[in-house]
Structure 1
Amino acid sequence: MVPAHWGRAAEPNYRPVLTARRGTLEALRHLDGAAAALLAPVLNVSTMDHSLSDGLARLPPGLLPAVDVTALPDGVGGELVRWGVPLVPVAGLAESDARLTAHGLAARAYADRLVVRLRAGLDRSGPDATTAAVERIWRLTRLAPEQCELLVDAGDVCCQADVRLAEPRVRRLVDWARRHAWQAVTVAAGGVPPTLSRLPTDEPVRLDRWDWLLWQRLADLGVGYGDYGVDCAVAGADAAGDRLPTVRYTTDGAWWVYRWSRRGGRGDERVADLCRTLVSAPHWPTVGAGFSWGDHEILRRSRGMAGAGSTTNWAAWSTSHHLARVLFDLGRPDGAWPADDRRPGTRPGGEDRAWSGGERRTGGWRGGPERGRPGRPHRGGEAGRAD
């Protein structure tokens, strides 16, 4: 078998592993065509919701999600060809014969593609047994290796020790993968802690993006990048941890977590105060609301132009900004922010002065991705230098 020719693509290809819930689908729905073409999400489905297929049908043209129904029992719910929407099936090494056969039908019906998900922490049977498992997948789905993408899922990496343990394990798996003619190989990991409820409130708290650091350490392998968005990689974990207004805001190498309880008991006041604090922070992008749909919604709340929203909305804003930020970072040829990104009519921490409302056709939502220049993150209101 001839190994695939690997290397960095001319355009970034980002495969986030996301929970198939309303906030996630809302963030994906607001991507523009240019951003959607660079994004290949994997949606984890743990319960069969009849509104899920409707949500998938409303995704922008050009965005073809992969769907993992491993958590569902065999049967109609797991037969993706019955969903009636374009998608790519995701197969695990331990799937039943019946499910793999059904995945093959769905793959040939929609895109002639399949994602094989190899979990680095669980699928540890050795190279020969792993080869036998993927050959079984190819045989039952009736797909060639060249029609399949390998997703090496490193799982939860929440500290430096996790990165040290995961790196050699992932390298061994990628070395094994080079024996086969995969369409592409992506490494995904998640760095958000299982719960955020113990973090301080009413001040931005910095958390390192250990998943991003792991991928940077693997850059010499030429693999694609994936993560778990702003959620934890541990199944069933609640990244928000409570009902407080919470925004997880992605910057270069870190998340800034805003959990807000002050300004009285009214939700509108608390969310408005949270958003005002965020838009005045050094890590708020220069183009402001133009960076993503999520940034646009945050700016509206900071000005009292909309209500508090809900946990679904806060997750959607956080996810929207995260996707735009990662796409921007993957597209930087030298890994550096521009010295000055200001265009005529823009100002730091704000929107285009000429824009008075409506749908803005910039920033990776309903228009092409644009660049912002967040400053170095801070904690508790301390100023930071621009990156």
Structure 2
Amino acid sequence: MISEKNTNQSFTLPDANGYFGMFGGAYIPEMLHRNVEELRSRYLDIMQEKMFVEEFNQLLRDYVGRPSPLFLAERLSAQFKTNIYLKREDLNHTGAHKINNAIGQVLLAQRLGKKRIIAETGAGQHGVATATVCALKGLECIVYMGEKDIERQAPNVARMQMLGAKVIPATSGSKTLKDATNEAIRDWINHPNDTHYVIGSVVGPHPYPDMVARFQSIISEETRWQLKEKTGHELPTHVIACVGGGSNAAGAFYHFLEDIAVQLIAVEAAGHGINSGMSAATTKLGKPGILHGSKSLVMQTDDGQVIEPHSISAGLDYPGVGPLHAHLFKTGRATFLSATDQEALHAAFEVSKLEGIIPALETAHAFAALHQLQFKPSDVVVICLSGRGDKDLATYMQAIQMNTGRLKV
């Protein structure tokens, strides 16, 4: 749960200007300065207020269903000859880790006096989570979503609408997450007084990357004490998570960042292949640049034009990565791998048939990394199972029909 004590750690916290190493900051139009400055100047004080901490923790417990289980995947462990634990964020209310941040930001927005909530979403899980909390708190909710993502994530669109949210399609560019984010920023510029923008990942201008990481840090906080209960030791040897913008990975890594013995493995979406021209492997293809209000690694042309990303997974279909992750990559604190669409599909079917758990396509990329790593029998590997695969069944069914992703064991 959120604690009232604030600790200073080199990887965990940005500097006073919101930089993790050379990445971060706030690169915003003048019309957004007041909004972002209000948030920056008040978020830490609000998050450490006793009543905020109590309400946030109570909702995580009684509404979300935390702590999420840490499950020893015995058949998967046997397959890879090591000890694999799954941090079951898929069992949260709404089916993913996104609800942790949505609750935190909506509670914060209320304390800032905001009555209208906007959000962007790719896979739809952040949109569903935001719509859920807005329904709980009686707030207006507008969710921007790429037209392409609306088509491939139809179940989540229906959920948002049933929860009372207005879903507005982004019809420009690649019609995916990047474009939905652009539309949400335009909305915020036009509604500066009564609106809070709930960014769903560790991206955007400072303080968003830090704020979202703090709300998601509950994942690794629980993992430490759950491992202690199960194994007698708080520290795993590996933590693996998928990365688009990177909120589930930031949460899964957070309380292990200063424990250098823990190997942090981030897995990006390689799409059709890293060099295929249809990829979202930002750390492999990107270079420093400005995207959506912060300096990070961005997939871009030599003249600074953003390259359209591709992934079978709507939640990883993003041409950048959060500044914390860019810093972890640059310093070597985390290892960044990638998985293609086909590798992710294979991993999804593998986990489904071995453990009876259908993972989200995003999470399937993290599972695909198991085939790229070498483990010892004594290793303790934690995978952040960031979401369940209900929303991706249409894609999985198409794969079955095409004889793609079949498990052979």
| More helix per residue | 2
Give the TM-score normalised by the residue count of structure 1. Answer: 0.27
| Greater relative CO (CA pairs within 8 A, separation 6+) | 2
Larger radius of gyration: 1
